[in-house]
Structure 1
Amino acid sequence: MHAPSVDFPSFPPDGNIVNLANLAVPSSYSQLKIVDLIQEKINAREYFYGIEISPGLQQVLNYNLLKVAPLFTSIVWLASHNWAMESLDEAPAVRLAKRVEPNGPVLAHISCYNLTYDKLRKFLKPSINNVMVVRGDDVDEGQQYRHAADLVREIRKIRKDDICISVGGYPEGHPESTSMEDDLKFLKSKVDAGADLIITQLTFNEEALIEFIKSCRKIGITIPIVPGIYVPKSWAGLKFVSEKTHVKPPEELYVQYESRKHNQTEFREFAVQQAVKMIHSLFESDLGIYGVQFFTLNYFKNVYNIVQQVM
């Protein structure tokens, strides 16, 4: 969900919230560009998924729950937490990235918020091969990079073609956009600036998501698109995320979620089946979609249940 603005507790310094999977992943695999791995899957028509996790949420990240390994792990960037550290190596997102790297490539988020050229150069050390560029919820008048396209262009200039740059897409439009047409133009500008991959913001509306992908192709966006999937584990969680992202389920679906809000088990089972239904629709849409990214909020059980049914 590209890091909604919220105060999280501090990240434990020992990194013990991560339980790595018992997987034999070659060390060189973690250094590959994610877009190349995704393109291989698309060419072979093989299904895949990625997960987004956050260094600010303290649930145990047990990769052993994920019987089918994620193709990549995306790590949320909380600017106020990461840049507050004396050394970037001590930043919560960087430490978490080091912990999960043995399980495969890491997609490190970076936001435009108060980012300077010097900070960017420090961030883009040779070991960083995949980045997710987001504008961020907050924008200061004097900050150097005001739009994601500006940051994409700068990263491409610094690292040329030896880095994978991902950007966000908004199936229902960015909350600040005046129209869907304008929002698609902004997305195209990010692609033209050098983006390799689009990961969409969450949506509960599969028709809107499919139409968004078609619209991208119509305006000449040819890079891979990976739909973002959020599976709420509770009514409170759904309300929180909807408020932060300004994305709400369609009215009929909203009512169905609300009717289950007092039964946690029934709510989660319904949420999982809704996600399975959406993913099946995407895979069967003949739009070249073979993978998704789950916005986990560090909760893997729903992902495990879905992967068992769709992969």
Structure 2
Amino acid sequence: MTEIPSPAQAVDLSFEFFPPNTPEGARKLREVRARLAALAPSFFSVTYGAGGATRDKTMATVDEIAAEGRQVAPHLSCIGATRESVAELLDTWRARGIRRLVALRGDLPSGMVDTGDFRYASDLVAFIRARSGDAFHIEVAAYPEVHPQARSADDDLRAFVTKMKAGADSAITQYFYNADAYFRFRDDAQRAGVSAPIVPGIMPINNFVQLARFSDACGAEIPRWIRMRLAGYGDDLASIRAFGLEVVCGLCSRLLEGGAPGLHLYTLNQADAAERIVQALRLRG
């Protein structure tokens, strides 16, 4: 008997890019976007460098995506920024038809000491709402494994709740590989009065050295069993990617079964890994 494949599962998908530094990088990102657009994501997001370091490149990338008729959410980090500079940027995005933002505190660039007019992301969210009303859907960041600079998990949760109550519409998490961390954070946030969606951020596993470096820098935990298996593969990229796909697909399946409202994939401006995850899970946007 021929087995009839199960229908694809409808899931709210989104993909994150960083602004390319070269014309060749921009060309490659266009190809990546075209491939990922075929997966019917709700939107693409574009990162914003510390202290606005990539502002012009972010704007150029956002404009290009919007011109393609696709929904795009620029990141906006407020550390080191003035109210005037943020207001100007909000007015620019609004005039260009952008209706979604990812509002972040960000990190001070090396050598900078002035934090600007915004101390916390909650201050930025409140300012956006006061300045622009409901013109933007505002995403904020969430940290299921606790922000690396937080004094405690309780302090981190309180900061998250403050951001949401300041006017955020939804949240995207830092990546993680422990589903229980996400569920505990989500449940704690709901008990604290947050009813808005908290979307898991998903990092594909393609390169162990790169992943370990990212994780050490941002405080995302790679469970010991995963770290040891990846380290054991050495330079065998095919085995790393096969194992990584198995791990990430298992994580995504558990998250969706547990009620996660969607998946936000950190692409690192590559299409292959994100495509493999979506196709292996038989998802559709």
Bucket of the pairwise TM-score, normalised by the shorter protein: 0.7 to 0.9
Kept in 2, the 8 Å contact 1:166–1:198? The answer is yes
Look up the match of 1:290: 261
Look up the match of 2:6: none
How far off its partner does 1:130 sit? 1.0
**How large is the RMSD of aligned CA atoms in angstroms?**
1.7
How far off its partner does 1:218 sit? 1.4
How far off its partner does 1:103 sit? 4.8
Look up the match of 2:41: 70
The 2-side partners of 1:242 and 1:226 are apart by 19
How far off its partner does 1:56 sit? 3.8
Q: Could you tell me which amino acid in structure 2 is paired with residue 46 of structure 1?
A: A
Q: Could you tell me which amino acid in structure 2 is paired with residue 219 of structure 1?
A: A
Alignment coverage as a number of residue pairs: 258
From the superposition, tell whether residues 200 and 238 of structure 1 become closer, same or farther in structure 2 (CA, over 3 Å). Answer: same
Kept in 1, the 8 Å contact 2:174–2:220? The answer is no
Q: Give CA-to-partner distance per residue, 1:199-258, whole Å, 9 cap, x none.
A: 001112111112111111111110111100011311221122112212131111111111
Look up the match of 1:131: 101
Equivalent residue runs for 1:54-203 within 5 Å = 54-56=18-20, 58=25, 60-61=28-29, 62-66=32-36, 67-78=38-49, 79-82=51-54, 91-101=56-66, 102-125=68-91, 126=94, 127-138=97-108, 140-203=113-176
Task: Give 3-state SS (helix, strand or coil) of 2:16's partner.
Answer: strand
Q: Which runs of 5+ in 1 are unaligned?
A: 1-44, 84-90
Q: Give CA-to-partner distance per residue, 1:124-182, whole Å, 9 cap, x none.
A: 12223111111112274451101000010000000111211110000000011121111
How high is the TM-score relative to the length of structure 2? 0.86
The 2-side partners of 1:80 and 1:187 are apart by 23
Q: Could you tell me which amino acid in structure 2 is paired with residue 137 of structure 1?
A: D
How high is the TM-score relative to the length of structure 1? 0.79
Q: Are 1:225 and 2:198 counterparts? A: yes
Look up the match of 2:4: none
Task: Give 3-state SS (helix, strand or coil) of 1:280's partner.
Answer: helix
Q: Give CA-to-partner distance per residue, 1:62-102, whole Å, 9 cap, x none.
A: 2333331221101000134345xxxxxxx100100111122
Q: Give CA-to-partner distance per residue, 1:37-57, whole Å, 9 cap, x none.
A: xxxxxxxx9312100100046
The 2-side partners of 1:103 and 1:214 are apart by 36
Kept in 2, the 8 Å contact 1:200–1:227? The answer is yes
Task: Give 3-state SS (helix, strand or coil) of 2:175's partner.
Answer: coil
The 1-side partners of 2:53 and 2:236 are apart by 35
Q: Are 1:214 and 2:203 counterparts? A: no
Kept in 1, the 8 Å contact 2:104–2:140? The answer is yes
Kept in 2, the 8 Å contact 1:113–1:140? The answer is no
The 1-side partners of 2:70 and 2:35 are apart by 16
Using the TM superposition, name which of 60-69 and 212-221 deviates more.
60-69
Could you tell me which of 33, 52, 56 is aligned with 2:16? 52
Q: Could you tell me which amino acid in structure 1 is paired with residue 107 of structure 2?
A: D
Kept in 1, the 8 Å contact 2:170–2:198? The answer is yes
